Amino acid sequence: MKKIELGFNKLILIFLLLSSSFIVLQSCIDNDDFEDQRSIDDRLILKYLNDNNITAEKAIEGYYYSVIKSNNSGSKVKDNDILSIYYKMDLLNGSKIDSVTKASSSGKPVKFKMMDKSLVPVGLRFGSSKMREGEKYRFFIPSNLAYANYSYENLFQRNSIFIIDSEIMKIETDSEQKEIEKDSIDSYIVDNSIANIDRILSGLYYKKNSDGEGDKPVDGEIVKIKFIAKYLNGTTTLDSTKTGSTFNFKLGNHTVIKGLEEGVKLMQKGEKALLIIPSHLAYDEGLQVFPKKVRKDLLDKKLILEKVPPFSILKFDVELVDIN
């Protein structure tokens, strides 16, 4: 339940997926092998471009890009912007990998934040920095800026080169994202007829479901809780009750997400409560992964540690079992 950062593990993949610097990479693997693969990828991309009469520019990081739709009046992408995009992801050989479009089941664009360690494949984040709101680009991303030596079932193999069409539908700030999530939570409360729920100044929503007794816990005390955490769509993401024991942590040590700690401090021993936690009090911008289906495998192999997608609102049913 701790809010954990990405783990940089045994494979060079970890660095390749997330970092914006090549210095560490070149100290981790054989330079000749790295340069050989980059050269191979570059030749393959150039051959594809020539064979298909495609004009594309090469970026300093090593990917190629072409403009499908421009919008000179759109806001330019900046660091820490939150991008909502539609995308289509294929391999250089034409194999279809993934897409999120207006015609998709949800019809909603996906989001990521323009900052380090926010997106896999990292080449798409690099490329997005060249874009404006309302523009659509096509990126030709070599393996060292995608999934490197990682492969996933029959979907793609190690050293795969990706073609990604990306269209930026909206650029938002952190404060705008908070308002969007507030509106989503307020709608959820109305739609589900949740009464007597309070919104705390921080943005946390708290509803007492059953009474407890005694004083509320404070920093320095160890609390023992049981909880079930779900997304607003009802999907369970964390369930401490399956372990058969309580989840224990010390208040004030910042070892759990902010919203859970703040919510527990509002409770009494024995109390049960509902907490609805916006992303800025949970896992915030997190890590976005394209295609979405590989996320579980990356988690299972401990190549990433963040289970919760970016900007996820969480709903916790919590019981404060004991205070020490």
Question: Are 102 and 199 part of one and the same domain?
Answer: no
Instruction: Return d(Cα 29, Cα 125) in angstroms, integer.
Output: 23
Question: Are 223 and 239 part of one and the same domain?
Answer: yes
Question: Are 22 and 164 part of one and the same domain?
Answer: yes
Question: Are 162 and 216 part of one and the same domain?
Answer: no
Question: Are 199 and 245 part of one and the same domain?
Answer: yes
pLDDT of 143-191, one tens digit each?
A: 999 999 999 999 999 999 999 999 999 999 999 999 999 999 999 999 9
pLDDT of 47-94, one tens digit each?
A: 999 999 999 999 999 999 999 999 999 999 999 999 999 999 999 999
Question: Are 190 and 150 part of one and the same domain?
Answer: no
pLDDT of 37-47, one tens digit each?
A: 999 999 999 99
Question: Are 100 and 184 part of one and the same domain?
Answer: no
Question: Are 19 and 94 part of one and the same domain?
Answer: yes
Which residues have CB under 8 Å from 243's CB, separation 6+?
Answer: none
User: Angle at Cα 152 formed by Cα 150 and Cα 156, nearest 5°?
Assistant: 90
Question: Are 165 and 189 part of one and the same domain?
Answer: no
Please say which residue of 132, 149, 172 terminates a domain. Answer: 172
User: Angle at Cα 295 formed by Cα 5 and Cα 20, nearest 5°?
Assistant: 55
Q: Look at residue 56 and tell me if it is in a domain.
A: yes
Q: The whole model's pTM is what? A: 0.87
Which residues have CB under 8 Å from 313's CB, separation 6+?
Answer: 181, 184, 185, 231, 232, 276, 277, 278, 279, 282
Please say which residue of 115, 139, 172 terminates a domain. Answer: 172
Pairing of strands 288-289, 119-120: parallel
Q: Look at residue 238 and tell me if it is in a domain.
A: yes
Mean model confidence pLDDT for the chain: 90
Question: Are 20 and 161 part of one and the same domain?
Answer: yes
Question: Are 192 and 71 part of one and the same domain?
Answer: no
Place of tokens 């759109």: 74
Instruction: Return d(Cα 80, Cα 21) in angstroms, integer.
Output: 18
2, pLDDT greater than 70: no
Question: Are 164 and 200 part of one and the same domain?
Answer: no
Instruction: Return d(Cα 260, Cα 150) in angstroms, integer.
Output: 35
Q: Look at residue 120 and tell me if it is in a domain.
A: yes
Closest C-alpha among 42, 83, 84, 44 to residue 63 = 42
Q: Name the residue range of residue 80's domain.
A: 13-172
Place of tokens 């594809």: 48
CA 19 vs CA 8, 24, 25, 165: distances in Å: 10, 9, 9, 22
CATH classification of the domain holding 219: 3.10.50.40
